[in-house]
A and B are shown apart, each in its own frame.
Chain A
Amino acid sequence: MRVVAGPSNLSLTGAGNRLHRALLGATLAAGLLALYMAFVYAPKEATMGDVQRIFYFHVGAAWTALLAFFVVLLGGLAYLRTRDRRWDALALSSAEIGVVFTTITLATGSIWAKPAWGAWWTWDPRLTTTTVLWLIYVSYLILRSTIDEPERRARFAAVVGIVGFVDVPIVFLSIRLWRTIHPVLVKSEGFEMAPEMVHALLVALLACTLLYAYLLLVRTSLERRRLEVEAAKRAIGFY
């Protein structure tokens, strides 16, 4: 006796769903490889030492967050065009995961800052822009939590998601200009990247992207299943 149709892929390990399992496997494989390359393959950095190894997943998380927020934009546009709530499910999931990755970017960036520049926080361009990004998408999630009516919530969230992503380049430019004119860092922040470091970075980017895809699949299928259950309840007459 099934209330909701379709196979149950409601599990983290992807029981019963081939794409799910393949993605999880690929993520784990890439993740392990990335960790190996970050810690063993890549050489120790000249001035900073081993602490520099934070860099690989810091950049990976940052890139993935941006990708996630782009997907929020796409999902929002698709919802506005089709009124199909499955696009909204995708957008919500991507926003959540994007906030998770942005949090990781902020935390690792801050933890890097302490040994690198002596302070837990600096208002340097990257950290500042990431903070604003975090705030924009947290406000997206807060907006969603204040609206109960599903169509309205999806529509308003789509609008905010579009405004948010369009804002990203402007935020970046304005803050970079600000820090060009009023620089905060005394020491130079760049470091020479050996070719092995570039390889490690690319693999880390790949691992983070695969992790994002996996999380997106899991979270979106959960959300879609939740929508089906809601619809089933309505059809039965629970509401």
Chain B
Amino acid sequence: MLETLKKPTVAISAPRPEAQTRAGGPDGRSLRAFLGQVWAIASKDVRAELRSKEVAGATWVFALLVLVVFNFAFDLEREEMGPAGPGMLWVAIVLAGMLGLNHVFAKEREQSCLEGLLLCPVDRSAIYFGKLAGALIFTLALEVAVLPVFAVFTNLPVFTPGPLLVLLLGTVGFVAVGTLFAAIAANARTREVLLPILLLPVATPVLVSAVNATGLSFDGKPWSELAPWLGILAAFDAIYLVLSPWLFEQVAQELGPE
């Protein structure tokens, strides 16, 4: 292991065969092992964040700032909150969420922990799901902290099942692709701006569907009207939750310092 550490540019290859457990395999033990790995990675990230509180507080304040700036930019009257509210909320979540996503691999990179992580006999997709879980917890917590402020600013009924479901589905999809792209962007020179450049165009369906569905549910429209939007969100989530782990394994082969 020491020799491997001495070679900075070696391509990190896949782990040993016995470590290549796959989720959903016939062996229940391997599924449990896989989930254990996921949990280990996720809880490490969450605990590190709780201990330092660096990013959580800052992104929450940033999200609030976005809401406030929106009101300066558009001078929204009370009646306009209905049409403008959902967009305002999702822009705040998306922008603040990307700040958090930048962080998912940034800390590892700074302390060169990424190489160590990749040298462990851990299934690459477990790393992805672990990182995803951590990022998801972080972003959902951010949303929970922002919603009350949003409700106060806009008087919109956010704490009803409709908007909450949309928030969940939208966040999952956004963070699923975001985690993958964060791994890619973490190694680039212009990483802070590269993540939005990569993520926002691809996440357009999430944004469009989430804003529309949120608006419909604020207006108290029936589930049947929300259904097509929720369908798109669910499809996006499903596709990228399946695709991203495999793609992450490809990315992981080239991770490490430049």
Please report A residues at the B interface, Cβ cutoff 8 Å. Answer: 80, 132, 135-136, 139, 142-143, 146-149, 151-152, 155-156, 158-160, 162-164, 166-167, 170-171, 173-175, 177-178, 181
User: Which residues of B183-208 are within 8 A (CB) of A?
Assistant: 184, 187-190, 194, 197-198, 200-202, 204-205, 208
Partner among A151, A162, A177 whose Cβ is within 8 Å of the Cβ of B254:
A151
Separation in Å of the A134 CB from the closest CB of chain B? 8
Interface pairs A-B: 8 shortest CB-CB: A174-B205, A135-B201, A146-B188, A152-B254, A136-B201, A170-B205, A174-B208, A139-B197
Separation in Å of the B182 CB from the closest CB of chain A? 12
Q: Are A147 and B188 also in contact (CB < 8 A) when A80-B250, A174-B204, A174-B208 are?
A: yes
Interchain Cβ contacts under 8 Å between A and B, 7 examples: A135-B201, A148-B258, A155-B254, A156-B184, A164-B202, A171-B204, A177-B209
Q: How many A-B residue pairs have C-beta atoms within 8 angstroms? Tell me.
A: 87
**Is the Cβ of B184 less than 8 Å from the Cβ of A143?**
yes
Scoring B residues 212 to 241 as 1 if CB is less than 8 Å from chain A, else 0, what string do you get? 100000000000000011001001100110
Q: Could you tell me the dominant secondary structure of chain B's interface residues?
A: helix
Could you tell me the distance between the alpha carbons of A139 and B185 in the complex, rounded to whole angstroms? 12
Could you tell me the distance between the alpha carbons of A78 and B12 in the complex, rounded to whole angstroms? 20
Please report B residues at the A interface, Cβ cutoff 8 Å. Answer: 11, 177, 180-181, 184, 187-190, 194, 197-198, 200-202, 204-205, 208-209, 212, 228-229, 232, 235-236, 239-240, 243, 247, 250-251, 253-254, 258
Q: Give the residue name and chain of the B residue nearest to A129 (CB).
A: B204
Could you tell me the distance between the alpha carbons of A80 and B246 in the complex, rounded to whole angstroms? 11
**Is the Cβ of B247 less than 8 Å from the Cβ of A163?**
yes
**Is the Cβ of A167 less than 8 Å from the Cβ of B205?**
yes
Could you tell me the distance between the alpha carbons of A138 and B127 in the complex, rounded to whole angstroms? 29
Could you tell me the distance between the alpha carbons of A175 and B228 in the complex, rounded to whole angstroms? 12
**Is the Cβ of A170 less than 8 Å from the Cβ of B247?**
no
**Is the Cβ of B251 less than 8 Å from the Cβ of A175?**
no
**Is the Cβ of B208 less than 8 Å from the Cβ of A178?**
yes
Could you tell me the distance between the alpha carbons of A181 and B177 in the complex, rounded to whole angstroms? 27
